[in-house]
């Protein structure tokens, strides 16, 4: 048995497609550790390799190099039907010639379980996904949300060690998607199965995951809890991909004790926290909601400028300020009380202003 910390270990896995002279690497050396029972999300734009990584864990593709271990056992080269791993497919891939119950029982049947056990597990799974009254239906008579539930029940029925979910909510409308997000969390909690969830929707990733791996161009850029990913993005791509953020370019004047003093081209000096020593030209990042709006000339404001635009979005207003650093800085507030053209001061707290690794 592997330790709880390293339930699934992905060690330096690469995957290349195409003929030898024109290989394209979908994954270029990915290493990650997934804990037992956690909701782990692979997040990234399309083409970042997240689905390829999922298919490698499922066994639909074999790695070009590297190892995938599950519970201490190397599974990277086993066919899919020898891995205790099941998948919920993006298009659900329900068998059209079988009923809901037959679909859910398929995995158990292939494992040659006794009929009585199959029947009782199917009934339990139907109850888990709240589909008990539709057991005899054919799958093409179901709505998208119902198909989604059947696909989930079918993948859970054989009690896999790991459940893989390939953008399972992307085909649902917004309201249903929100419902299913809550449902999925509940089911994961009830079953205690490790979930690996693939999505390109950063909001979905933040709300559902215990930990997130942000991927780009075949590499994992950062692995962390939603709070870590959101508050302390390790790379510019991560910061940009998740939520809204302001980037401020500048030159490091001094650095020490996790604190960097950065001079902007327009003159002002900003204090930012830096995980590691930095020097030269750097990018600072800060979330709009972390920026404090001050009256013009207020002593606590490090920057000041003129409001160029106000964008109301229901729960707040984005205040666009031209502070003379090139792009507008966006600050978020719930109590604007300002108008376009007003001069305001901007407070950029040290704790929320981070230096990004390029």
Partner 1 sequence: MSTPDTHAQADAALRAAIRQREREAFRNRWLLLAPGVGLIACVGLLPLALTMIYSFLEPGTYGGVTWTFSTGAYEQFLFERDLFDETLLTFNPSYVIIFARSIFLALVATVGTLLVGYPTAYFIATRPRESRNLWLFLITLPFWTNLLIRTYAMLLIIRDEGLINAVLMGVGVVEQPVGILYTDFAVFLGLIYSFLPFMVLPVYASLEKLDFRLVEAAYDLYATRWRVLRRVIIPATRPGIVAGCILVFIPGLGAYITPELLGGGKKLMIGNMIALQFGTARNWPFGSAAALILMAMVVLMLVFLMRRGGRQVGHG
Q: Where along the sequence are the contacts to partner 1 (CB under 8 A)?
A: 58-60, 79-81, 85-87, 89, 91, 93-99, 102, 106-107, 110-111, 138, 154-155, 158
Cβ closest to partner 1, residue 142 vs residue 307: 142
The nearest distance, CB 220 to partner 1, in angstroms, is: 24
Q: How far is the CB of 107 from partner 1 (least distance, A)?
A: 4
B/e letters for 323-338, b = 16+ CB within 10 Å, e = fewer, are bebeebbbbbbeebeb
Q: Exposed (0-12), middle (13-18) or buried (19+): which is 139, by Cβ within 10 Å?
A: buried
Q: Is 225 helix (H, G, I), strand (E, B) or coil?
A: coil
- Taking the C-alpha atoms of residue 47 and residue 217, their distance in angstroms, rounded to an integer, is 7
Question: Which residue has tokens 């394209």?
Answer: 24
Counting Cβ atoms within 10 Å, is residue 34 exposed (0-12), middle (13-18) or buried (19+)?
Answer: buried
- The H or E element containing residue 243 is none
* C-alpha span between 344 and 302 (Å, rounded): 11
CB of 74 to partner 1, least distance (A): 19
**Residue 85 C-beta: closest distance to partner 1, Å:** 8
- We find the least distance from the C-beta atom of residue 197 to partner 1, in angstroms, to be 16
Of 316, 304, 283, 289, nearest in space to 346 by CA: 304
Looking at the Cβ atoms of 50 and 154, the one nearer to partner 1 is 154
Measured from the CB atom, the residue of 43 and 94 that comes closer to partner 1 is 94
Q: Which is nearer to partner 1, 100 or 272 (CB)?
A: 100
DSSP state of 157: T
- Residue written as token pair 């229901």: 314
State which residue, 68 or 284, has the beta carbon closest to partner 1.
68
Strands 343-347, 292-295: pairing is antiparallel
Contacts 24+ apart (CB under 8 A), 121-126: 121/157, 122/157, 125/153, 125/154, 125/156, 125/157, 126/100, 126/101, 126/153
Q: How far is the CB of 113 from partner 1 (least distance, A)?
A: 10
Strands of the sheet containing 39-43, edge to edge, are: 85-88, 162-166, 194-199, 39-43, 211-216, 219-224
Residue 54 or 307 having the CB closest to partner 1: 54
80 versus 277: smaller Cβ distance to partner 1: 80
- Least separation, in Å, of the C-beta of 61 and partner 1? 10
Q: Report the residue number, 80 or 326, with the smaller CB distance to partner 1.
A: 80
Output the smallest distance, CB 46 to partner 1, in A. 18
Taking the CB of residue 68, how many other CB atoms lie within 10 A of it? 24
């Amino acid at each position: 048995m592997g330790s709880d910390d390293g339930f699934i270990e992905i060690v330096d896995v690469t995957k290349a497609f195409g003929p030898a002279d024109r290989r394209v690497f979908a994954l270029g050396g990915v290493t990650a550790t997934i804990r037992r029972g956690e909701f782990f999300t692979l997040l990234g734009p399309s083409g970042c390799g997240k689905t390829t990584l999922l298919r490698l864990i499922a066994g639909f593709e074999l790695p070009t190099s590297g190892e995938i271990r599950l519970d201490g056992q190397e599974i990277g080269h086993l066919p899919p039907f020898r891995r205790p791993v099941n998948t919920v497919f993006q298009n659900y891939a329900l068998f059209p010639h079988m009923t809901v119950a037959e679909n859910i029982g398929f995995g158990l049947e292939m494992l040659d379980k006794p009929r009585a056990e199959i029947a009782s597990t199917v009934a339990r799974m139907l109850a888990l996904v709240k589909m008990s009254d539709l057991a005899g239906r054919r799958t093409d008579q179901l709505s998208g949300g119902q198909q989604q539930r059947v696909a989930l029940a079918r993948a859970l029925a054989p009690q896999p060690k790991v459940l893989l979910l390939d953008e399972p909510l992307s085909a649902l409308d917004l309201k249903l998607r929100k419902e299913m997000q809550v449902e999925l969390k509940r089911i994961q909690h009830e079953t205690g199965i490790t979930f690996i969830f693939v999505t390109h929707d950063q909001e979905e990733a933040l709300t559902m995951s215990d930990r997130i791996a942000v991927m780009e161009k075949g590499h994992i850029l950062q692995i962390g809890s939603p709070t870590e990913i959101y508050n302390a993005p390790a790379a510019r791509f991560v910061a940009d991909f998740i939520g809204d953020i302001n980037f401020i370019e500048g030159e490091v004047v001094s650095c020490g004790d996790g604190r960097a003093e950065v001079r902007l081209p327009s003159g002002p000096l900003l204090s930012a926290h830096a995980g590691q020593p930095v020097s030269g030209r750097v990018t600072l990042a800060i979330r709009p909601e972390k920026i404090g709006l001050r009256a013009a000339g207020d002593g606590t404001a490090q920057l000041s400028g003129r409001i160029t635009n106000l964008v109301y979005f229901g729960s707040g207003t984005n205040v666009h300020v031209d502070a003379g650093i090139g792009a507008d800085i966006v600050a978020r507030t719930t109590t604007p009380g300002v108008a376009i053209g007003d001069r305001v001061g901007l407070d950029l707290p040290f704790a929320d202003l981070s230096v990004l690794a390029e």
